[in-house]
Amino acid sequence: MKLILVLTMLSNIAIASSLKIATLVPKGTNWADTLTQMNKEIKSETNGEVKLKIYYGGTQGDEPDVLRKIRIGQLHGGIFTGKILGDIYPDIRSLEIPFNFYDNEEKALAAIAMQTNYFNQKISEKGFVNLGFYGIGKVYVVSRKKVTSIDEMKGIKMWSWEGDHLSEAMMQSLGLVSVPLALTDVTSSLSTGMIDAAYAPPLAIIGLQWHSKVKYIIDFPTAYSVGALLISKKDWSKISATNQEKVKTISKRNIDKANELAKIDNKNSLDVLKKSGVEFISFNKSDIEKAETIRAGVIKKLKGKLLSAEIIKVIEKLR
């Protein structure tokens, strides 16, 4: 009995001191560098009592795989983007409603900041601790086929994350053909023609090598993408209160830095796309004006289903 008790205590200490975190973020990026720096600071300021074991570049699978592994105890946390955050607490997707903020990144970041405390409470009720929201960037559509208007987009085969009701509602409003795939399958599917188009912030388009498979980018952001670094509350509770506060402070500092770097990286990535020969397509004013109608259609499809009426009212005010 004593031996079992000792082994249990040692097991708990190991879990508490080494949090296994998975992310799709590839090594060599500023985002990855801020995570590495975060880990160094956490180890230093907690005297080695807490450290992160970070799995970069999707080595633990796509985001749904990571969430499943956390729930069965193989991982302790991960960086998740919109679709999975929505699986945890659907109203978070309100930040990513198409054409919410158009190209106003500062307004998008302000909306995230204003809703952080509320969303953190709801995330906590779902069994996670949020160490910080990432402003990943403005989302652009890249395509193998040239489309010069919203009408020409009809029938285009567009990647969507399987089960992503927000993107499905947008695609229905645009007349696109939704092709659900894991993120890790997008590059090969663009190569084979299984899909014609995909969507992501510029940095992700470069990092995932989509730019080598497409010829065009629509020079009009469709949405703003958010992410968050979540830790299982079960594993978080094994860290002392003092160290929890240290980890929260360090995480916020480094995530804030990552968000500032993301603005620069996304701008530079647009330049890389231009230099690589990807053609930028501008829609005319009448198409841009249709964006508000499309947005309203998406909200109508999702209100009372994915999104609550209350959060829609909040987002309308934040706009």
Arithmetic mean of pLDDT, 27-45: 96
Arithmetic mean of pLDDT, 4-12: 46
Nearest to 218 by CA among 196, 204, 199, 203: 199
At 73-97, the pLDDT tens digits run 999 999 999 899 999 999 999 999 9
pLDDT higher at 163 or 68: 68
The dihedrals phi and psi of 46, each to the nearest 5 degrees, come to -105, 10
**Number of neighbouring beta carbons within 10 Å of residue 2:** 6
**Prediction pTM value:** 0.89
Asked which of 80-89, 157-166, 254-263 is least confident by mean pLDDT, the reply is 157-166
At 116-143, the pLDDT tens digits run 999 999 999 999 999 999 999 999 999 9
Strands 197-200 and 51-55: unpaired
Asked if pLDDT for residue 59 goes beyond 60, the answer is: yes
What is the set of domains in the chain, with CATH numbers? 2-318 (3.40.190.170)
Share of the chain above pLDDT 90, in %: 74
Asked if pLDDT for residue 240 goes beyond 70, the answer is: yes
Decide: helix, strand or coil at residue 98: coil
Cα-Cα end-to-end distance for the chain = 60
Q: What pLDDT score does 161 carry?
A: 86
